[in-house]
Structure 1
Amino acid sequence: MAEVFVANQRTGNGTLRRVWARNSNYKQYNKVVEEVASTMVAWGASLLLSAGKADEGRSTTEEDFMAWKENLVLFLKTHLDWREHAASRSLITKESHEGVCIHMDINLSGQPEIKYKSGDHIASWPVNPRDEVDRLLQVLDIKKADQRIIIQSKAPETELRLPRRTNALALFEHYLDICAPVPRQVVLSLVDFTIPDVVKIALRKIGKDKATYSAFLASTRLTFARLLAYTSTLDPNINWLSLPLSFVIESIPTMSPRCYSISTSNITSPTQVSITISVKQTRLALKPEVAIFGLTSQYLASLGTSPCQDPGTVQKQNPLQTIQAQIRRSNFKLPMASTVPLVLVAADTGIAPLRAFIPDRARLAVMGRQIGNITLFFGRRDTNIDFLYRDELATVAVEPLEGKFELVTAYSRVPGKDKRYVQDAMWERMG
């Protein structure tokens, strides 16, 4: 889209309503911003300050905007004598699974209207951990968490992604991503409320700029509840009774589903889909003993699993559990002609959709159809760990895809050997 926009802009032809390229991994990274700025200068405009550039590739879009906004506000204050005014706010109404891979089967037989195709996704809605929910209820001093509240948007054009009638417990468990990191803007916004000066000074200090806040987060896990709890370490007498629930709702992002590739074939398994989940953790840079797990993967893991012991398999989720999920369609499909050769490349749980495609071709082979050769380049860390679906891949290579299926492995963490990745294996094959 960005490339088309740039071409049209240079020739003066065509218009586009929506264009973007905010990811530094793309060739046209922020090209639209650069072209618009340079064109306006060519037409006689003057830049007040450098154009702001966000980078979704590093997940710093919000921080990039904050830095640009701060420079803009400083310019307006210095050169145009502008002044900031605080806006008023009103109340609406009152076991470690480190490195584990989980195989989860989802039974669709009770919902015959639900159909899927190989390559589609499952979108799963997580549930926030109860300890984080209780922490937020406690710090906000909400004693009647099941009391009904009504949420109304003051901007009719704004889509409200929350139920209009709900309660605090449901909001914090299912609708607000209370485990999400806290943006620096929220830290600074808390200063506007009636709180002790020592807390205001501390919040301004940690939210001073991007570098300062990043350094603070390197040693502190900060969710909204943990941020409010942190202020009590500065002043034990502080309370947040005056904090409007509207501010809480505005400050915490709404819950979004996480998508996982379906790892089963709709031809061989029409009423049961499987997903392959990697449960990993990140650690704080300056406090590595603090581990942070992915919200949805950890939730799915908590439904009843244990670490995998057999390196040739993955741990299967216990039966009789219910999740909130839906099928999401995908354009990632096999070629229509079965004779087209396939070169499949995957690492880790990225093998999930490819595991769905292989049975599709195997079924055609059983039916006597001509099929093209299949080469799977599969990257793993070590020969003895995390070799997902090892036995299954070995079986399919013998029957029914004998002579048609080849598995090429690449290991990047074998002790005493050089790192070898799938791209290395592909280059070797090309040579």
Structure 2
Amino acid sequence: ATYGEGDPTDNAAEFYQMISDQDLDLTNLNYCVFGLGNSTYEHYNSTGRFVNKRLLELGGNRILPLGEGDDDSTLDNDIIEWKEQLWPKVCTLFGLDGSDQDINMRQYNLEELEDPDMSKVFTGEVTRLNSYLAEKQRPPYEPKNPFMSHMLVNRELHKGGDRNCMHIEFDITDSRIRYDAGDHVAVYPCNDQKLVEDLCVLLDKKPDTVFRLTAIDSYASKKSPFPCPTTYRTALTYYVDITSCPKMHVLKEFLPYTHSEEDKTKLELMTKTTMEGKAAYQEYVVKNFRTVNHILQDLPSCRPPLDYLLELLPRLQVRYYSISSSSKAHATTVHVTAVVLQYETPTGRVNKGVATNWLLPQVPSDDKHYSVPLFVRKSQFRLPIKSEVPIIMIGPGTGIAPFRGFLQERDVAAKKGATVGKTVLYFGCRRKAEDYLYQEELESYVASGLLTVSARESRGD
């Protein structure tokens, strides 16, 4: 996958560096590559393209042309079509029977514990790692070792309207976390408790039942999909994604657990790789923003076991936000500017963003036990090294976030006597009276001569 300015993802960085720097002999390697990207970005799928080319240079045998998935368009279809070419190649290469047999392969066995030792039961992501305990935290802080930050500020930026936009400040005092204007902060969110409890009701499970999932394959490197033993509530809250549209392969696994012919026919159509099947999936699931809860509500005879659903659903991912501050002005805090996502779907339901709706009601307090796990991810988005270089910034809405950090940095430089080049911001909002973000701050920079602003409304009178 490619993110940012053509960079590999965090979990691929070490591999990317290895094949870039080392003169490896891969003459015995058979390989194929599928790249994930977004065509709206300049460096579309550059990581996948590089890996595909580099493995060939190192002597690898490419068994299939590069596949590319476009997250801005038909990503699921791109993957399905590429896999249809992949498996016959793999079967031929290894002399396997390529007959088209659908096999339901469970990876884990379920065991529900009637009298568990609660001191050994995992109760959430915050207790998964020893480093999450405040008294045991040690840098460096990264995806597997996030810093438990205390929220200092959570204030509303919108002056009116029906939306919320949060300005949040996280405390990083004594963390040794260093960041630059333009970097990102990653936040570990939690799923909404109502969605969690609704899903348990749909699948007839008590949310606080303690269970364990154990790998069927005794040689499997991953003994369980997440820390066990745990509860259904914990797994659904912290570990799996229940708010995204389920993929076609997940719906296919629902078929054996669907009893109504009408429901089964609908599912079967949506899991076919034909043009008709893909269109049905797009119409029913994607265009209507149906989540797994919605599908189970709308197909009442579809009732897969909850433990199998926990196998099938993807892991809940961290959310990245552009840092809206400069460490030169705020060395002990990280600022975030985020609109709270909430929208009505064509089916009349209201979908909510996971992280922003989790953060919205949080009130800063002196309670250090209620914290937000986070880490900083470096970016290549930077101010010019020389402050005298003029810059033009274009940031509608929360797109202003990194530029607020840039402005703070230039303001610090100017106050220290440095020459600061012309700094121009083009900002857009719906209505200045409602959602002109950081208006007072920007006006103060204009008054000091640091900034020139051109602000426009899209829905003003």
Report the TM-score, using the length of structure 1 for normalisation.
Answer: 0.71
Check whether the contact 1:124–1:258 (CA below 8 A) recurs between aligned residues.
Answer: yes
Secondary structure at the aligned position of 2:252 is classed as helix
Partner of 2:352: 293
Check whether the contact 1:63–1:184 (CA below 8 A) recurs between aligned residues.
Answer: no
The superposition leaves residues 306-333 of structure 1 with CA deviations (integer Å, 9 ceiling, x where unpaired) of: xxxxxxxxxxxx5457442323232322
2:441 corresponds to which letter in structure 1?
Answer: E
Distance verdict in 2 for CA 1:160–1:333, change over 3 Å: farther
Q: Say whether 1:117 aligns with 2:197.
A: no
Distance verdict in 2 for CA 1:336–1:139, change over 3 Å: same
Partner of 1:349: 398
Instruction: Select the residue among 303, 327, 338 that pairs with 1:277.
Output: 338
Paired residue total: 367
Alpha-carbon distance between aligned partners in 2 of 1:153 and 1:113, rounded to the nearest angstrom:
42
Partner of 1:396: 445
Distance verdict in 2 for CA 1:392–1:53, change over 3 Å: closer
Check whether the contact 1:92–1:152 (CA below 8 A) recurs between aligned residues.
Answer: no
Check whether the contact 1:98–1:280 (CA below 8 A) recurs between aligned residues.
Answer: no
Alpha-carbon distance between aligned partners in 1 of 2:415 and 2:403, rounded to the nearest angstrom:
19
Check whether the contact 2:257–2:303 (CA below 8 A) recurs between aligned residues.
Answer: no
Partner of 1:257: 318
Instruction: Select the residue among 386, 390, 403 that pairs with 2:435.
Output: 386
Partner of 2:158: none
Q: Say whether 1:54 aligns with 2:54.
A: no
The superposition leaves residues 11-41 of structure 1 with CA deviations (integer Å, 9 ceiling, x where unpaired) of: xxx99997847433367868989xx9xxxxx
1:178 corresponds to which letter in structure 2?
Answer: I
Partner of 1:326: 374
Alpha-carbon distance between aligned partners in 2 of 1:28 and 1:106, rounded to the nearest angstrom:
32
Unaligned runs of 5+ in 1: 4-13, 37-46, 75-79, 305-317, 416-431
Give the RMSD, CA atoms, in angstroms.
4.1
Partner of 2:77: 63
Partner of 2:18: none
Shift of 1:192: 2.6
Partner of 1:86: 103
Instruction: Select the residue among 186, 201, 208 that pairs with 1:145.
Output: 208
Where do 1:7-406 residues align within 5 Å? 20=35, 22-25=37-40, 54-58=69-73, 60-66=74-80, 69=83, 82-89=99-106, 91-94=109-112, 98-109=162-173, 111-143=174-206, 145-152=208-215, 154=217, 156=220, 162-193=226-257, 195-208=259-272, 209-217=277-285, 221-232=289-300, 235=301, 240=304, 243=305, 245=307, 247-284=308-345, 286-287=346-347, 289-303=348-362, 319=365, 322-331=370-379, 332-399=381-448, 402=449, 404-406=450-452
Secondary structure at the aligned position of 1:376 is classed as strand
- Which stretch shows the higher mean deviation, 22-31 or 262-271? 22-31
Alpha-carbon distance between aligned partners in 2 of 1:68 and 1:370, rounded to the nearest angstrom:
54
Secondary structure at the aligned position of 1:270 is classed as coil
Report the TM-score, using the length of structure 2 for normalisation.
Answer: 0.67
Identity of aligned residues (%): 25
Alpha-carbon distance between aligned partners in 2 of 1:344 and 1:355, rounded to the nearest angstrom:
10
Partner of 1:414: 460
Alpha-carbon distance between aligned partners in 2 of 1:414 and 1:341, rounded to the nearest angstrom:
30
Alpha-carbon distance between aligned partners in 2 of 1:106 and 1:187, rounded to the nearest angstrom:
39
Check whether the contact 1:161–1:254 (CA below 8 A) recurs between aligned residues.
Answer: no
Alpha-carbon distance between aligned partners in 1 of 2:86 and 2:166, rounded to the nearest angstrom:
48
Shift of 1:260: 1.0
Structure number with larger C-alpha Rg: 1
Alpha-carbon distance between aligned partners in 1 of 2:424 and 2:211, rounded to the nearest angstrom:
57
Distance verdict in 2 for CA 1:180–1:30, change over 3 Å: closer
2:252 corresponds to which letter in structure 1?
Answer: L
Alpha-carbon distance between aligned partners in 1 of 2:175 and 2:322, rounded to the nearest angstrom:
20
Secondary structure at the aligned position of 1:105 is classed as strand
